[in-house]
Amino acid sequence: MIVANTDGAKQFITNTEEFKRVKSRAEVAYQQVLAEKGLGSEWLGWRRILRNPDKESLEHVESKASRIREEADLFISCGIGGSYLGARAVIEALSSPFRDEGPEILFAGHHLGGNYLEKLTEYLEKPKADGTAKSVYLNVISKSGSTLETALAFRVLRKWMHRTYGANAADRIVVTTGPHGGVLNKMAETYGYDKFVIPDDVGGRFSVLTPVGLLPVAVAGINIRELLYGAVNKFLECEESADDILEYASLRCAFQESGKVLDVIGSFDPELRAFTGWIQQLLGESEGKEGKGMFPVSASYSTDLHSIGQMIQQGKRNMIETFMVVHNPITGYQVTGNGEEIDGLDYLSGKSFHEINSNALDGTIEAHIEGGVPVFQIVIEALDARNLGELIYFYELFTAIYVYMLNVNPFNQPGVEDYKKAMFRKLGKEG
């Protein structure tokens, strides 16, 4: 269950008549999504996969992931943007921060740092504590197969895999790409790599509930059926009513049009640090067009209260703030007494860290609102696969509705292509 608490934002709305007009635009945008009549509606496959879940594909993912978990010490997910952010968000939210079972999950292909790739290959070569070699599996994720960051990393890692495993390398390399065409389809056909398909009508930042995200998440030991069907439940609920999302979108749009330029998206639960990064991409790449949109800033609390907290509290009043909140305790871990007063913390003895963290959250929200920052709270009941699946669809639908309210296409990213063209020209690529 997700609750969008907008009380800390609504109090900043002073022109009620104008806000009513904004809300009516939200309803129009919502109907555009339902009727598949808006800009870029050919990219609404992230709704189709929840309306009619592909059970055969799900079973294929589960089967492959089960085999990898049995055989691998290390699993590399090679991709950039939506090809890795969603999987990383779910894995970090639902896994132990210290690997205790299953293969180690590493990410590559999400930057152009040569040092990282060099050290990664050295790490692959390093034997385990018992002196035996690591068992490595590699999953490359790219619809086109030509995104430079991912393609270069895959070239390095694929070469290592074939040198290390010889003829058996093909059994350890998995390709996730579009249904046809592109470099990776050609490689899969040539070398016999196992393949998973990214649907043609699903863009990268909306692809976490396809094999793009589901395979790495399943390899990490997370129940992908719970994740997927949590999203399905939210999809069905929102087909009937999306009032909370419409209220949230209306308020955010009203703030954007009144001059707010930053949305600081954070959580007091460090498990959600990568999830706020996924939201940052989802919103930033969807709304940042034609001189419109707010800049989404990902933050981690209470850590960042000691860095950007001062700016939020007393800086320029050009921002809003969104908190991801987990209602139920993730752990019951408590502060214990130590029989001495030297550290001055005995007043916290017997309190759980959840209680302390919750009070820090409430105090921060109170202070920031008093400082003039509109605050949203997006609350999930518990940190588990089903609730996270609901939250994924909540934000996918919210993004589509909100960006339609700006009268731009939520699903393209023309600006991303600009840097690629300039980069390839400087590198001397022909054409």
Question: CA separation (Å) from 230 to 89, 268, 393?
Answer: 16, 23, 9
Which entry of 55, 126, 180, 306 is annotated as an active-site residue?
Answer: 306
Contact yes or no for 100/86 (Cβ under 8 A)? no
Which entry of 92, 271, 285, 321 is annotated as an active-site residue?
Answer: 285
Question: CA separation (Å) from 221 to 90, 92, 105, 210, 279?
Answer: 11, 12, 11, 17, 23
Strand pairing of 262-267 and 194-197? unpaired
Q: For residue 146, which phi and psi values (nearest 5 degrees)?
A: -115, 5
Tell me whether residue 126 is one of the annotated catalytic residues. Answer: no
Contact yes or no for 410/290 (Cβ under 8 A)? no
Which entry of 37, 159, 420, 421 is annotated as an active-site residue?
Answer: 420
Please state, in angstroms and rounded to a whole number, the distance separating the CA atoms of residues 166 and 164. Answer: 6
Tell me whether residue 368 is one of the annotated catalytic residues. Answer: no
Tell me whether residue 128 is one of the annotated catalytic residues. Answer: no
* Residues catalogued as catalytic: 285, 306, 420
